[in-house]
Amino acid sequence: MGSLQLKSIRKAYGGHEVLKGIDLEVKDGEFVIFVGPSGCGKSTLLRTIAGLEDATSGSVRIDGVEVGHVAPAKRGIAMVFQSYALYPHLTVKDNMGLGLKQAGVPKPEIEEKVGKAAGMLSLEPYLARRPAELSGGQRQRVAIGRAIVREPKLFLFDEPLSNLDAALRVNTRLEIARLHRSLKATMIYVTHDQVEAMTLADKIVVLNGGRIEQVGSPMELYNRPANLFVAGFIGSPQMNFIDGDKFGDGEAKTVGIRPEHIGLSRDGGDWKAKVVHVEHLGADTIVYLESDAVGPLTVRLFGEHRYAADDVVHATPVIGGMHRFDADGRVIDSGQ
């Protein structure tokens, strides 16, 4: 239990269409992440699934049941918000129990469920506190706890880590991954951070301009992007895009090579280039080049390398690391 079907969901505000026909199937127990640049409609889509926004047209089915006219509380969903959205005047315990109380669950049962969720998230010492007395990470754990307590068919996360600092973000990310494994629940998660998407998802849905660009597992999107947008969006640093003419390739308009699929040498190689800037990250070295043949290139080398600005080097693409795209931006083939 916990599947979701979206069929040609459209949403327009006045004349402005935010969602332009979304079809999607989420299987029971899957961790699906909506990712895309800001304004791509991913949050609107999540709110439509939650019932906080009505779709202009199209159907939302949860477990095969049409929920288009069902109130959010009756859809069997729970939602975690970016700004935590805890009730400021209630204690942690009451925050977590409010949904059940509204649904008329008897008190001992609420106590038990809240206790269990608090145990999972190590929130027991804070149950009597108010949200104002908690740190950001603790507040977000309470918000997650509030969702767990409801035992929903669908967990909806709306950029839950955006307000946390970097270290806490990694911890909470691990915690969410652990929860997904232990609860085996269906989770839908919205983020603009592709690292979160790659690390957490079973299935990533890349959205752009109100349309789905591609759906697939993280490695599918990385290895076989369906179009230029996905190729550019997934992976950091961004994929290098080179004009197809410069390869003498009649078919491909653009050729993409990931920065980690280019080798660098001082002695010789395909493209002679000058180093513009080097970023030393310890585990990686990112080298920005300006080559005469193919223009600017970003190269990611593993480990430490002693390149410096103004060095003259030679770059060579790794065999099997090229993605070719046609004039419409659609992929012709990957792995050339």
Partner 1 sequence: MSKARTSFARTGAVHFALIAYTLVALFPVFLTIANSFKSRNAIFREPLAIPTTESFSLIGYETVLKQGDFIGYFQNSVVVTVVSIALVLLFGAMAAFALSEYRFRGNTLMGLYLALGIMIPIRLGTVAILQGMVATNLVNTLTALILVYTAQGLPLAVFILSEFMRTVSDDLKNAGRVDGLSEYAIFFRLVLPLVRPAMATVAVFTMIPIWNDLWFPLILAPAETTKTVTLGSQIFIGQFVTNWNAVLSALSLAIFPVLVLYVIFSRQLIRGITAGAVK
User: Which residues contribute to the site for partner 1 (CB under 8 A)?
Assistant: 47, 50-52, 71-74, 77-79, 81-89, 98-99, 102-103, 132, 146, 158
Rounded to a whole number of angstroms, the minimum distance from the CB of residue 208 to partner 1 is 24
- The residues near 35 (Cβ < 8 Å, ≥ 6 apart) are 42, 190, 191, 192, 193, 194, 197, 204, 205, 206, 207, 233
Rounded to a whole number of angstroms, the minimum distance from the CB of residue 71 to partner 1 is 8
One-letter amino acid identity for 83?
S
Rounded to a whole number of angstroms, the minimum distance from the CB of residue 52 to partner 1 is 5
Which is closer to partner 1, CB of 85 or CB of 332?
85
Which is closer to partner 1, CB of 12 or CB of 170?
12
DSSP assigned state of 146: H
Which is closer to partner 1, CB of 56 or CB of 199?
56
Which is closer to partner 1, CB of 85 or CB of 127?
85
Which is closer to partner 1, CB of 168 or CB of 286?
168
Which segments within 49-183 are labelled E, that is strand?
57-62, 65-66, 77-80, 154-158
Which is closer to partner 1, CB of 71 or CB of 166?
71
Q: Dihedrals φ, ψ of 157, to 5°?
A: -115, 125
Question: Closest Cα to residue 188, out of 135, 231, 229, 152?
Answer: 152
Rounded to a whole number of angstroms, the minimum distance from the CB of residue 292 to partner 1 is 52
Rounded to a whole number of angstroms, the minimum distance from the CB of residue 310 to partner 1 is 46
Pairing of strands 312-317, 262-265: antiparallel
Rounded to a whole number of angstroms, the minimum distance from the CB of residue 154 to partner 1 is 11
Which is closer to partner 1, CB of 10 or CB of 224?
10
Residues of the chain by 3-state class (helix, strand, coil), percent to 5: 30, 35, 35
C-alpha–C-alpha distance, residues 286 and 232, integer Å: 17
275: helix, strand or coil: strand
Residue 188, classified by CB atoms within 10 Å of its CB into exposed (0-12), middle (13-18) or buried (19+), is buried
Between the alpha carbon of residue 154 and those of residues 74, 187, 194, the distances in Å are 12, 6, 22
